[in-house]
Structure 1
Amino acid sequence: MITQNKRLTGIVLGVAFLLSIPLIAMQFTNEVNWGVFDFIVMGVLLLSTGLVVELVIRKVRNADYRIGLIAVILVALFLIWAELAVGIFGSPFAGS
């Protein structure tokens, strides 16, 4: 079984890996154009999502509730990500 500290390390390394994808892509194409602020926002969004999921895993004992809460957290992540990327809701935070 994975210890709690190894899971936290995995979360941080996972965020670093995911953020390295656009960083590497920026070296090869002009289609990806992220600034420092974009990396900070996405890093905070991914890290906070990972940490909240970890909190749910540690604190919620009922498996059905745990799965439901993690699903809600992931849906919220994707909705916020989509809003920041293309503005599906038209909020002032939209990226377009």
Structure 2
Amino acid sequence: MKIQEKLHSGKFRIIAILTLTAGILAIPLIAMQFTDEVKWNLTDFIMAGALLLSTGIAIELVIRNLKTGIWRTVILVFILLVLFLIWAELAVGIFGSPFAGS
């Protein structure tokens, strides 16, 4: 199998999603060891992990089912926009919802 084919295989992308999620979650975990400014508990890690994994899987599904085109781009941008809005709401409460972090 060529390298190009391996990079575009679904198995490789799933491994990349899991690795990136673990890497992103490792940032606050490591930061908590060196500073008191980062104070995450188990619920924070679970919520962030669920949010990142669901976003990654949604992106993977779009990539698998829509080969090219404007709709694929629009849906991917929408997924990322939803990720950033939920993340911001959980972090600082920009909309003032009951589950806001502020």
Instruction: Sort the TM-score into its range (normalised by shorter chain).
Output: over 0.9
* Dislocated runs of 4+, deviation >3 Å: none
From 10, 21, 24, the equivalent of 1:4 is 10
2:73 corresponds to: 67
Correspondence 1:24 to 2:10: no
Deviation at 1:61, TM superposition (A): 2.6
> Which residue identity is paired with 1:91?
S
AA aligned to 1:56 is V
**Counterpart residue identity of residue 85, structure 2:** L
Computing the radius of gyration over CA atoms, which structure comes out larger, 1 or 2? 2
Q: Which residue is equivalent to 1:80?
A: 86
Count residues with an aligned counterpart.
96
List alignment gaps of at least 5 residues for structure 1: none
For residues 11-47 of structure 1, the C-alpha deviation after alignment (integer angstroms, 9 at most, x for no partner) is 0000000000000000011110000000000000000
Q: Identity of counterpart residues, as a percentage?
A: 56
Partner of 1:46: 52
CA drift at 1:62: 3.4
- Residues of 1 paired with 2:75 and 2:28: CA distance? 29
Provide the TM-score with structure 2 as the length reference: 0.91
